[in-house]
Amino acid sequence: MDKKLAKDRRKLLDDERGVIRKRRHANTTVALVYPNTYHVGMSNLGFQSVYHLLNSMDDIVCERSFLPEIRFKNANDIITIESGQPIRQFDMVAFSISFENDYPNILTILQRAGIPLKSKDRGNPHPLVAAGGVACFLNPEPIAPFIDCVFMGEAEAILPAFVERYHRKAGRGRQLKQLAQNVEGIYVPAFYESRYAADGCFQSMQPTSDVPPKIKRVYLRNLDTAATCSAILTPHTTFDRTYLMEVSRGCPHGCRFCAAGYIYRPPRFRSLSFLKAALETGEKRSNKIGLVGAAVSDLPGLNELCGHAAPGTTLSFSSLRAEALTSELISRMKESGVKTATIAPDAGSERLRRVINKGICETDILNAAEMLVANGVPNLKLYFMIGLPSETMADIDAIVLLCKKIKHRFLKTSRSRKRIGEITVSINSFVPKPHTPFQWAAMDEIHLLKEKIKRIKLGLKRVSNVQVHADIPKWAYIQGLLSRGDRRVAEILTRLNQNNGNWAKTLKASPINPDFYVVRQRSLDEIFPWDFIDHGIRKSFLKSEYQKALRGTPTASCNPTSCNICGVCHPPETPSSVERIYSMPDNKNT
């Protein structure tokens, strides 16, 4: 092992609290890999919860691994944090993938680990290569040739059944077929063939073996049957020893660009009693608690939960909607030392907010900004998207105008408090996502996104105390390619790996035109390469939502107790055996 890499591993271990150590003898060993650096991966609550879940099973020993930092680019192996063993020596290598832009890192990790890149080239004694995470059950096709099996759904609902069927000493082909046939939510790409029409459009996905023609996404119906909390606390993350606890999954508001609002349907909230117990567990490990969810401000009893926190505990929130801010919440933010609050108008104009079904108006946004400053939160961060369907330059100018109006409210209120805070405007390029109403939409070309960013920066250039930050359009373009690609995009990834990550060189020489996937408007009758994934949402519903968007017609928030318009909320099934209680992570560093 590289000495510097070994030293870095030991330093990370020394700074961790909650690491799990289990003996490897006679157990199935899993190398859980986040295809990005330690800092990024350990900031991901989903990755941490899978680590704890796997290690809660008697038959599994799970260790973590990451993409080495750039300073270790010449290290010739990929090892785990816990034992320092090469991941190729494990029975299974399981990738946890949250973002499509991490797809190229999967090939880098496999290559440096000495594992053949493509599934068809592996055999015994190579480890089984699996993948899960939100990127996978959006669209796994660009990485399908590299993965042996894909978990389509939430870990708590799928892993117990998978582990029950998995036999590490079984033959690879027989093993994969058994899993594909008997475990709901398991997708084995080798058993399916993609077909294309003469014009290059995707035509169909056909099973080549006796496996389900569609893969049903599985999910946990009752979140109270499983805690999703930080397993390991470390200073080397975005949250610096903050104990994260998930309060909800999914979002009821149905913003038409947001994948989480659709693929995590129905929206689910943990009960107040469960969360109070989780909060007490977290307070034993840290005085900093982070409440995580796509719709934290919609949690019933949120104020009561905050009031349950012990004196000296600081609370932070991953998401609060402008119209849901209350004086109680802002007071808690102030007590917790929060200096910057985030509001996401997403669009500058009322028209475009109706298009995306944002569900808030300008008055909500301005009142929220004023309330935050008046109650002692001095700085504000604003999130906007550019390139949204039907967007015009008038909508771009509306972003500038709205920011100026917010600054005016901000300034008026700040003067009375004798302190003027900062406003940070974050501009992000819209990327159409599978399984959303905007999956048919074209993405803006790079030059147009750059023009819009320049226009916003110029419009706010002379506004004091306002800073504008924007993403890089070329990376948004890459995300669009990987989000909406089919298996042919795997060839681009292979060439990229051969070109050491040089995207410009790869795309220039590629026989596949990336614009076909990124900037092409889809017809409403087009078949998508991700249509084989059954999220329970009717495609006709998504199509209707897209058409309503183009008319600027809003849709009411999702209410699982009283509607089944989208198709997800079927009559409740008998709870399955996978919905058993897992203990909250309260591991001691050993």
CB-based contacts of 339, cutoff 8 Å, min separation 6: 377, 378, 379
Instruction: Judge if pTM exceeds 0.85.
Output: yes
- Other CB atoms within a 10 A radius of the CB of residue 307 amount to 10
Beta bridge partners of 150: 131, 187
* pLDDT the model gives residue 575: 41
Domain assignment of residue 425, yes or no:
yes
Q: By the 8 A CB rule, do 379 and 341 touch?
A: yes
User: What region, left, alpha or beta, does residue 337 occupy, with left being phi > 0 and alpha being psi -120 to 50 degrees?
Assistant: left
Can you give 419-482 as a three-state secondary structure string? CCCCEEEEEEECCCCCCCHHHHCCCCCHHHHHHHHHHHHHHHCCCCCEEEEECCHHHHHHHHHH
Output the 3-class SS for 538-576. Answer: CHHHHHHHHHHHHHCCCCCCCCCCCCCCCCCCCCCCCCC
CA distances from 331 to 99, 239, 328, 339, 446 (A): 34, 21, 5, 12, 42
Residues 84 and 201 in one domain: yes
Q: Which of 180, 201, 216 is the last residue of a domain?
A: 216
Is the same domain home to 211 and 246? no
Distance CA 505, CA 162 (A): 40
Query: If you count them, how many residues does the chain have?
Result: 590
**Residue 53 confidence (pLDDT):** 96
Does the pLDDT of residue 466 top 60, yes or no?
A: yes
pLDDT at 185: 97
Flag whether 441 is in a domain: yes
The pLDDT score that the predictor gives to residue 291 is 95
Tell the residue number behind the tokens 């298009």, with chain if given. Answer: 355
Q: Output the domain CATH number for residue 97.
A: 3.40.50.280
Q: Is 357 helix (H, G, I), strand (E, B) or coil?
A: coil
Would you say 536 and 185 are in contact if contact means Cβ atoms under 8 Å apart?
no
- Mapped onto helix, strand or coil, the DSSP state of residue 216 is strand
Across 2-16, 85-99, 355-369, 403-417, least confident range = 403-417
Q: How confident is the model at residue 279 (pLDDT cuts 50, 70, 90)?
A: very high
Cβ neighbours of residue 125 closer than 8 Å, sequence gap 6 or more:
none
Q: Which pLDDT belongs to residue 318? A: 86
Q: What amino acid occupies position 468?
A: V
Token pair of 393 as six digits: 């330059």
Query: Which of residues 216, 233, 266 is at a domain's end?
Result: 216
Q: Is residue 346 part of a domain?
A: yes
521-557 confidence digits (pLDDT tens):
999 999 999 999 999 999 999 999 999 999 999 999 8
Is there a single domain that holds both residue 35 and residue 90? yes
Q: Which residue has the higher pLDDT, 74 or 154?
A: 154
CATH number of the domain where residue 463 is located: 3.80.30.20
- pLDDT band for position 378 (cuts 50, 70, 90): confident
Domain count, the chain: 2
Residues 103 and 205 grouped into a single domain: yes
Query: Are residues 203 and 65 part of one domain?
Result: yes
- CB of 587 closer than 8 Å to CB of 61: no
CA 42, CA 37: separation in Å to the nearest integer? 8
Classify residue 295: in a domain, yes or no. yes
In a domain, 234, yes or no: no
Q: And the tokens for 83?
A: 């034992």
Judge if 93 and 211 occupy the same domain.
Answer: yes
Tell me whether residue 164 is in a domain. yes
Do 255 and 170 share a structural domain?
A: no
272's enclosing H/E stretch is helix 272-283
Check if the beta carbon of residue 211 is closer than 8 Å to that of residue 529. Answer: no
The proportion of the chain whose per-residue pLDDT surpasses 90, expressed as a percent, equals: 76
- The set of residues, in sequence order, having a beta carbon less than 8 Å from that of 11 and lying 6+ positions away, is none
Cis omega (within 30 of 0) for bond into 378: no
Of 6-10, 63-67, 199-203, which gets the smallest average pLDDT? 6-10
496 within some domain: no
Is it the case that residue 76 has pLDDT exceeding 80? no
Residue 209 and residue 324 in one domain: no
Tokens representing residue 573 in the block: 């099934």
Residue 211 shares a structural domain with residue 260: no
The whole-number pLDDT of residue 416 equals 62
- Domain of 24, in residue numbers: 3-216
Whether 286 contacts 232, CB under 8 Å: no
Helices and strands (H and E) in the chain: how many:
19, 19
- Are 34 and 133 within one domain? yes
Task: Name the helix (H) or strand (E) containing 248.
Answer: strand 248-249
Provide the mean pLDDT of the chain: 91
| Torsion angle in degrees (nearest 10) through CA of 272, 274, 276, 282 | -140
Task: Give the contacts of 529 (CB within 8 A, at least 6 positions apart).
Answer: 139, 141, 194, 202, 205, 485, 486, 487
Same domain membership, residue 79 and residue 135: yes
Domain-located, residue 31: yes
Q: Is residue 271 domain-shared with residue 165, that is, in the same domain?
A: no
CB 63 within 8 A of CB 32: yes
Residue 397 confidence (pLDDT) above 60 = yes
